[in-house]
Structure 1
Amino acid sequence: MRKLPTLFLAAGLALVVFFSSRPLPPPHSGDRPILPRAGFLRALFKAQLGLVTDYFWVMTINRVGAARSLSDYRDIYYYADLTTDLDPRFSKVYSFAGITIPIQLRREEYANVELSSRILRKGLVNTPEDKRIHFQLAYNLIFFERRYREAAAIIEELSREPGAPEWYSGLATRLYAQAGDFDTSLGLAQMMRDGAEDEETRAYYERRVNEILQEQVLQEVDKAIQKYKARAGEPPATLEAVVAAGDLRELPADPLGGQLFLGQDGRAYSSASRFRLEIIYNETTADGERLVPKPMDSKNAP
């Protein structure tokens, strides 16, 4: 009988070591990590459920910091899913995972989008009062999935909330009518930037705003290039030639701070971006080479 206190002490120390040790990547079964079931954790740690939930929330953050491949970012979903199974009202997890999981492969092609939207939809069910999740899902639907009507319906529903800004309705109308043009993209990105509650998210959307503004500049330069070509009967050698010929008043400033130049495909590019932000064109480099998917060593903001 005297051994029981010792056993309890040993078990307690084991738990302390377990929760304080550095998290290691779990083994995988197929394309997903092997993690304990939420029901098992609830039964085993009923009195410490809050601590266990916080542990897997930290593990979720840890997976973000350690992610180096598409599968690593996919793992974030499973950690976030387990964390929110343990505490469905943990709203921060939904938005954090939703913004982190997607990975850009090339223009108009992203990985892990379905998992990102899935965790966000779970958040809508369990924490419908958190409007950040609504906005993030609308962002996914527009930029990743091209489901503009569904995104518009989300914004329209939010516009009916008491105290909602008047411009919500205007944004929903533009999403319905314009279905993905740059004005709509800019409006949503600015909204997400201005509503961000942390610097990382704010910087993410600030970059997106400037990418959209940059593409608008590049399209205006493209028009001048086409004007030059139609008049001269041949493409220009440089953008400076377009300015010298009067088809472009001056080389505009790049919102991302780069230098504009003429690519081998006859279109304008910037030294600040490897590829252009566009809806109608596939992603290409400045020399016209089409990019192909490859393993990523860092996350590319979509």
Structure 2
Amino acid sequence: MKFRLLFGILLLAHALLLPHLSERLKQRSVEVKLGYIPHPQILKVSVADHSLPVAEAAVMKVLFYFGTLVEKFQENIVIRPEYLNMYRTLETAILLDPYNMDGYYFAQAAFTWEVGRVKEVNRLLEIGVENRQWDYWLPFYIGFNRAYFLKDFAGAAPYMKLAAERSGDPLFAKLAARYFYESKQTDLGLLFLDTIIAQTKDKAIKATYEMRRAALLMVTALEKGVAAYRSARGSNPERIEDLVTEGLIPEVPVDPYGGNFYLDSDGRVRTTSKLAEQPK
């Protein structure tokens, strides 16, 4: 009898409190709902053979959380995202399953443009490059991030080269050659293009590579002329035409991309085309 009475009281209390608790949960900040995830090393041990579904669930958790924030924003409710927690959750998911592409895609989209955490994103992408060895998008992302956000052309070029080798896409090859040039590694750009040209069978694509190679050969000749001028006079030439006057080159070459070669304030060989085809 006492047990039934106690059970009835508990049941009544539950019925009275449930609406209040439900309302509190609805009003709770969305930020809290993402929750936390254990350290990946601890999680690896605890999940054992279930790392793939756990990793997938972690990524989906972040995607759902972020989607909820977007929905709230559309309702004019601005909630500050837990970017650090989101990043750690994605990092854990990627370490559990480095083959899951969704984590890399989201990290690239959410943490570079929106948050500016480019170096952190590149660290995650490096894991993917090492494991997803058929995937050309991941090295492309790293190359793009280094060139566009960090202005690190020397660091970008090898990744664009890798993206070109994995994909066979001429765009990546062009970007790689351009970044080698921008990072004062024109010779590496030429070596890379020689390799790509030898492997390319499509005549149209090969022609684009050969045009870029021709432009880089011109840059190399001009760079050698500038170096010789600097060695003889102890300073950089003021104009690229000075190389002709000094007899270091027979004439200023014609940029195959339709631009004009010139020297910048640091004495570097530049072209107004920026090694990109100009509209006719």
Whether these two folds match at TM > 0.5 is: no
Alignment TM-score, normalising by the size of structure 1:
0.41
Larger RCO, structure (CA 8 Å, separation 6 or more):
1
Query: When you count helix as a share of all residues, which structure comes out higher?
Result: 2
The structure whose Rg is larger is: 2
Alignment TM-score, normalising by the size of structure 2:
0.44
